[in-house]
């Protein structure tokens, strides 16, 4: 398997080189040269397969010979060694809970897979590897946990000051060691722009292996396919409608990639908050990014979603085909809060704000399509968001991992939206 740039001016590379570089020199995103097709009968066999076996089967064609099979299987085993339960909330809606990993967010899978791939690729490498990541909340915590203590790898995280929750911030800023956290005076898009600029900086690239741990990196992005297979493993009936809370669109892009491979899904819904670039695109066919706005569902506050180009690639930029498989809606903060209250009152289920956006989008779709049933991806534990307690009066049981965070000391460096500052810090890690 080789990977090409979506901008089509950089050379094709191997999985290893795509992971180590993070982003092509032409500032596109790496995309697999072919989409594997599942063996006949594979979907029918899902219930008989372990989660680690499914992960291995799904990811192996994308890795190719880059990692030996026995090593890759162990990587998969370590990556998915927690639960992914499908929970029935109502007679027509279930949630796939993706928050049972170490940082209570769906990003744990990609971060753990990528960290272990980098550990393998760096074992015979005398040069240090520096991982730079921009986060709107959950990515940074998952990356920090996934890479903490990994020998030969330094991690630099950029997050927008005052725009993440207390728990998210503690997950980002309390590890220390090989994890450095930059608290940016700006928004997520500013963080992402600085990270991309660093990845394209030839001076830095000439002195160190610099890569990204955002979903622009194929080792972060591709393992997110596993969720969808685990959902279908537990599903009974006709292919579901799947609603995905969407910010940078990596999660949705991986699901649609799995679908093209042969995973049966009736419809995808990209559930967005007030940052509605994609809903507007599907209405007008004009893609017009704009500065992000702050919402209750902060991890989805992205005004220029990087991974949407991969969705366009999956559908060969055919707008008609894309519209047939994808709907996208925008949900206001007021409606998000109302949904959280109603679901808790009627179903005794606690949604986080991101899951609530996905739930509302799915509920509205099912109201118009009474023959269908669906799944919402619940991407983060409610305890990570102070707003949950403010809206419904509880966050549920507090996990032990969160209790332990409260006594840790915050360690971060405040920086302006200034590339020179960020570059100096990155160079100091060499």
Asked if 334 and 376 count as a contact pair (C-beta separation under 8 A), the reply is no
Burial status of residue 11 (CB atoms within 10 A of its CB: 0-12, 13-18, 19 or more): exposed
Strands 241-245 and 267-272: what pairing? parallel
Q: Encoding tokens for residue 393?
A: 């009066």
Q: Which residues of 235-247 are buried (b: 16+ CB within 10 A; e: fewer)?
A: beeebbbbbbbbb
Residues 6+ apart with CB under 8 A from 409: 174
Neighbours of 166 (CB within 10 A): 13
Neighbours of 201 (CB within 10 A): 17
Helix (H, G, I), strand (E, B) or coil at 11: coil
Q: Encoding tokens for residue 242?
A: 């799947």
- Known catalytic residue: 107? yes
- Please state at what angle helix 250-261 crosses helix 225-233, rounded to 10 degrees: 60
Helix (H, G, I), strand (E, B) or coil at 317: coil
Q: Encoding tokens for residue 267?
A: 């419809």
Strands 93-97 and 374-378: what pairing? parallel
* Selected catalytic residue, list 107, 163, 384, 429: 107
Asked if 233 and 46 count as a contact pair (C-beta separation under 8 A), the reply is yes
Helix (H, G, I), strand (E, B) or coil at 426: helix
Sign of CA pseudo-dihedral 212, 214, 218, 223:
positive
8-state DSSP, 410: P
Strands 326-330 and 209-212: what pairing? unpaired
Catalytic annotation, residues: 107
């Amino acid at each position: 398997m080789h990977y090409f740039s979506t901008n089509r001016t950089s050379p094709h590379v191997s999985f290893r080189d795509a992971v180590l570089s993070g982003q092509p020199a032409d500032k596109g995103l790496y995309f697999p040269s072919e989409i594997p097709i599942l063996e006949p009968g594979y979907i029918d066999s899902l219930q008989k397969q372990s989660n680690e076996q499914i992960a291995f089967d799904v990811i192996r064609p994308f890795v190719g010979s880059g990692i030996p099979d026995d090593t890759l299987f162990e990587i998969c085993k370590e990556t998915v060694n927690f639960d992914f339960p499908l929970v029935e909330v109502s007679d027509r809606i279930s949630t796939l809970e993706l928050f049972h990993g170490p940082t209570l967010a769906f990003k744990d899978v990609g971060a753990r897979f990528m960290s272990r791939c980098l550990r393998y690729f760096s074992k015979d490498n005398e040069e240090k590897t520096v991982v730079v990541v921009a986060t709107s909340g959950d990515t940074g915590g998952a990356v920090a946990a996934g890479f903490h203590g990994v020998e030969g790898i330094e991690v630099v995280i950029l997050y927008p000051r005052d725009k993440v929750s207390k728990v998210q911030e503690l997950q980002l800023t309390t590890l220390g060691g090989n994890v450095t956290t930059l608290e940016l005076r700006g928004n997520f898009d500013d963080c992402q722009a600085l990270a991309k600029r660093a990845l394209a900086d030839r001076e830095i690239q000439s002195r160190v292996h610099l890569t990204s741990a955002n979903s622009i990196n194929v080792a972060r992005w591709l393992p997110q396919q596993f969720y969808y297979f685990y959902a279908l493993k537990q599903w009974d009936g006709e292919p579901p409608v799947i609603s995905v809370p969407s910010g940078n669109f990596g999660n949705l892009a991986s699901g649609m990639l799995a679908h093209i491979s042969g995973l049966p899904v009736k419809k995808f819904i990209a559930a967005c908050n007030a940052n509605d670039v994609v809903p507007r695109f599907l209405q007008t066919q004009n893609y017009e990014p704009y500065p992000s706005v702050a919402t209750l569902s902060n991890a989805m506050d992205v005004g220029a979603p990087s991974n949407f180009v991969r969705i366009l690639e999956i559908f060969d930029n055919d707008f008609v085909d894309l519209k047939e498989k994808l709907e996208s809606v925008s949900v206001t903060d007021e409606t998000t809060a109302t949904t959280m209250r109603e679901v808790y009152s009627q179903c005794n289920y606690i949604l986080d704000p991101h899951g609530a956006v996905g739930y509302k989008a799915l509920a509205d779709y099912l109201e118009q399509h009474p023959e269908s049933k669906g799944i919402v991806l619940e991407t983060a534990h409610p305890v990570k968001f102070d707003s949950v307690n403010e809206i419904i009066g509880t966050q549920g049981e507090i996990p032990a991992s969160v209790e332990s965070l409260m006594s840790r000391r915050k360690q971060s460096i405040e920086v302006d939206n200034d590339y020179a500052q960020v570059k100096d810090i990155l160079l100091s890690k060499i």
